[in-house]
Structure 1
Amino acid sequence: MHAPTADSGDRDDYLVSRPRAWFAFAMTFALMLFDYIDRQVIVSLFPHLKLAWSLSDKQLGALVSIISVVVAVGSLPVALLADRVSRVKSICVMAGIWSLSTIACMFTRNYGQMFAARAMIGVGETGYGSVGAALIASLFPKRLRSMLLGAFFAAAALGSVLGVMLGGVIAARWGWRAAFGAVGVPGLVLALLYLWVPDYKTVALTSSSDPAGKQPSARQFFGHVAAILTQSRTVWWTCLGAALQLIVVSTVWAWLPSFFNRFHGLDPHAAAKQAALIVLCSALGNFVWGFIVDRLAARRPRNKLFVIATLCTVTLAVFLVAFAGVTDARLQLPLIALGGFLMTCSAGPAASIVLDVIHPGVRATGAAVLAVFQNLFGLAVGPFVGGAISDAWGLHVALTVMPAFGLAAAGCFLLAVRHYETELHRVASVQMQVARPAGPATASTSRASA
């Protein structure tokens, strides 16, 4: 099977003007940044919470995992609503909810209240990654998707870095409660500014040959959506592979501050800064691997899957050496940093692969399927299972064992290879238009293919 080319009539252009497309990317990136600042700020506060409320590692891990569970449960309905109504307005509401919930964490007085407030952050974040990714994928040319989505998801890593660092610095000076308030307010401002971001018109799910004016029943509509989402084997194998690799990522992100605190004797503030450097390497890897994958797949799209499968396997090898074979901190830290750089290899390319083969009429919903897998079977698993293993056998064992999920991820990406290029052709001719903006900016009427 040959890859689609420009000669096949498959246009590859911006949906809106370049300045407006890049403004949309900048705003979506900024909100993703604060999404993960709010989500991960608690990681550097683990030592404080453990001391204040006598919590186990499993309980601490649950404060991270609960957000991913809630996001997974709500992603599909929220994204489907955004697909059929407005992506921009939906994002404004989401950002407002998660920011207010983060601020509420500073007023909690026990573990139960903190757990509930963290769950509400998940309610706000439900659907954001999938809706934001769909918006970026639709406004920009396909040739840039892996790179831009890699950069978009790099905001998650950068936000995690800032969350860990800010949490440690603010807690050291003003106490751990102040950290939640300090990171929650900026998201409210960005939520209002997001109304100026351009959106694209809702795309009909039925063909143009359907009788004019005929509206499908609710049952027909949801049946059609389900058929679109379930017919792609590429989507399902890619979603599973992305989730398994995120088990590795979420475990490392959640437990590195505690690892440096317990095994290298660093105080919580210093441990947070050390862990932030590793997460920064992850952010760089997000962008770099997205860029490299786009270049290697320019002539043969299936190369995306081969490359990330290889990188997932290499990540496992690096972490095994780092945690099981090296004890000298001077050697261990560079190896962990290399593993951090490698482990986010699949974030941008996986989203790009899913969005490539999903009908544009349910693009956010298709991305939500990926988000469900990533959050429920990836981000939620790592911190909690890693904490449980740590309680039973020690944190060092947990960080040694958990990267093995990357090998299973590689297998899933290789299984997706057989179907990817065939499914690309199914949506190659679908046309899209820019919608009237939610804010006062004016829209162009440019068109682009899916």
Structure 2
Amino acid sequence: MAAYTITTETEIQEPAVSRGYAWIIFALTFGLMLSDYMSRQVLNAVFPLLKAEWALSDTQLASLNSIVALLVGTLTFPLSLIADRWGRVNSITLMALLWSVATAGCALAANYEQMFIARFCIGVGEAAYGSVGLAVILAAFPARMRSSLTASFMAGGPVGSVLGMALGGAIAKQLGWRPAFAAMAGFGLVLVVLYMLIVREKKLRPASAVQGTERQGPTPSRLGVKATFMALVSSRSVLAAYFGSGLQLFIFGAILAWLPSYFNRFYHYDAQKAGVTAAGLLLVLSVGMSVCGAITDRLCRNHPERKWTMAIIYSALSAMFLLLAFQQPVGPQQMLLMALGMLTVASVTGPVGAMVANLTHPSIHATAFATMTLVNNLVGFAPGAFVTGMLSDHMGSLQVALSYVPLISIAAVFVFAYGKRHYTNDLQRIQAMQK
């Protein structure tokens, strides 16, 4: 069995690009992450309008959301594997073009079925972007910045959701829901052109490869699919990282999908105000991801195993705050508790991303992050939104449904604790296999 690992926070193969160009790559790749989630989450801002116009149930509304997460979950691995072999930059360009065109298709949909098809295409386009985009960013920066970069890049998800819901709600209120989708599509197409003109695959090779000193021998991207897969799941600790993250992001997926509807139904906000309020809480979430990622890098610089402890702390805090929040009546106290919960609910992404990167070879980082994304979507995002919608229909109350969701964090805590328990032994075993 092939196994690869990075055991310290020092980059084995230093990036070849200049620091300025690296930050340009980050900005453009982050911008496409914004477009990804703006195209995906603008739907949530117009849920009330679609429900009224097409007489849709909560389950049907949830299906329009969950089909994207489901496709991201099922296609991210094969598409990321292709990107590792074919070229990550070319793959990103093609992905972004597809989801932008499909978002324009949402603006033209005449009924639920056509909207579902357009959302299906968005899911195909967005399937591998998070994993491939993160691999591109990490290739341009030193390893000591991995938690911060992972968290900051992944924070583009909630920030894009903020922009998608806030701008989408505002545009929908003034012009209708169709122009809201069209605006998101236009933003994505502009970024696609810039990415094509500026980012080059050959500039992302490690410095050793540029200088002709790269170590020879088979890398995972040159191995067969089976050998690559075995390298991705070679330890209990990396499996715990995948599944702990997925469980925690079940909550994120549920809240992300249903916050605008929650404020519309229980606070009696119109589509614009509901979208803006939900966007504000998601902005808190994105700040929490970035700040907690930086804190994790600082506290764990010389003790990588502490990343497990940080993931446990973030999961436990989010469970406590959100469980309390949805037990409160609507009002300022509930809003404060929701904000505190949102600050930590997705903060595991930084430490988890860093651990996955440390336990896999750089040449298969896109595929490794695809595996993480696969679990995040199949265990987290896809069922999070859909199950909450089903519970809402069954129980007759969205608030009651949301009050059960934070309990998933308790399971995430146990999974992260399991990973921490086995981390040292797994790392030693993998190191021994390489000798």
Equivalent runs, 1:10-49 vs 2, <5 Å:
11=12, 13-49=14-50
What do residues 368-427 of structure 1 show as CA deviations (whole Å, max 9, x unaligned)?
A: 100111112111011100000000111011110011111111111111113445666758
Partner of 1:388: 390
Decide whether the 8 Å contact of 1:304 with 1:349 is kept in 2. Answer: yes
Residue 250 of structure 1: how far off its partner (Å): 1.1
Provide the rounded CA distance (Å) in 2 between the counterparts of 1:119 and 1:376: 16
Provide the rounded CA distance (Å) in 2 between the counterparts of 1:312 and 1:328: 24
Aligned partner letter, 1:411: F
Residue 207 of structure 1: how far off its partner (Å): 7.9
Decide whether the 8 Å contact of 2:315 with 2:412 is kept in 1. Answer: yes
Equivalent runs, 1:7-406 vs 2, <5 Å:
11=12, 13-195=14-196, 196-199=198-201, 200-201=204-205, 208=216, 221-324=224-327, 326-393=328-395, 394-406=397-409
Provide the rounded CA distance (Å) in 1 between the counterparts of 2:220 and 2:141: 30
Change (3 A) 1:11 1:360: closer
Change (3 A) 1:263 1:297: same
Provide the rounded CA distance (Å) in 1 between the counterparts of 2:353 and 2:298: 16
Change (3 A) 1:427 1:151: farther
Decide whether the 8 Å contact of 1:72 with 1:376 is kept in 2. Answer: yes
Q: Structure 2 regions of 5+ residues with no counterpart?
A: 1-5
Counterpart secondary structure, 1:16: coil
Provide the rounded CA distance (Å) in 1 between the counterparts of 2:8 and 2:190: 42
Decide whether the 8 Å contact of 2:7 with 2:358 is kept in 1. Answer: no
Change (3 A) 1:169 1:304: same
Residue 348 of structure 1: how far off its partner (Å): 2.2
TM-score by length of 2: 0.91
Provide the rounded CA distance (Å) in 2 between the counterparts of 1:285 and 1:142: 21
Provide the rounded CA distance (Å) in 2 between the counterparts of 1:421 and 1:190: 42
Provide the rounded CA distance (Å) in 2 between the counterparts of 1:288 and 1:188: 30
Provide the rounded CA distance (Å) in 2 between the counterparts of 1:191 and 1:353: 30
Aligned partner letter, 1:254: A
Residue 366 of structure 1: how far off its partner (Å): 0.8
What do residues 118-140 of structure 1 show as CA deviations (whole Å, max 9, x unaligned)?
A: 01000100110000111112221
Provide the rounded CA distance (Å) in 1 between the counterparts of 2:60 and 2:79: 28
User: Identical aligned pairs, as a percentage?
Assistant: 41
Provide the rounded CA distance (Å) in 2 between the counterparts of 1:418 and 1:371: 23
Residue 4 of structure 1: how far off its partner (Å): 5.1
Change (3 A) 1:84 1:51: same
Provide the rounded CA distance (Å) in 2 between the counterparts of 1:318 and 1:347: 19
Provide the rounded CA distance (Å) in 2 between the counterparts of 1:137 and 1:291: 15
Decide whether the 8 Å contact of 1:20 with 1:198 is kept in 2. Answer: no
TM-score by length of 1: 0.88
Provide the rounded CA distance (Å) in 1 between the counterparts of 2:19 and 2:57: 50
Change (3 A) 1:111 1:216: closer
Provide the rounded CA distance (Å) in 2 between the counterparts of 1:132 and 1:423: 28
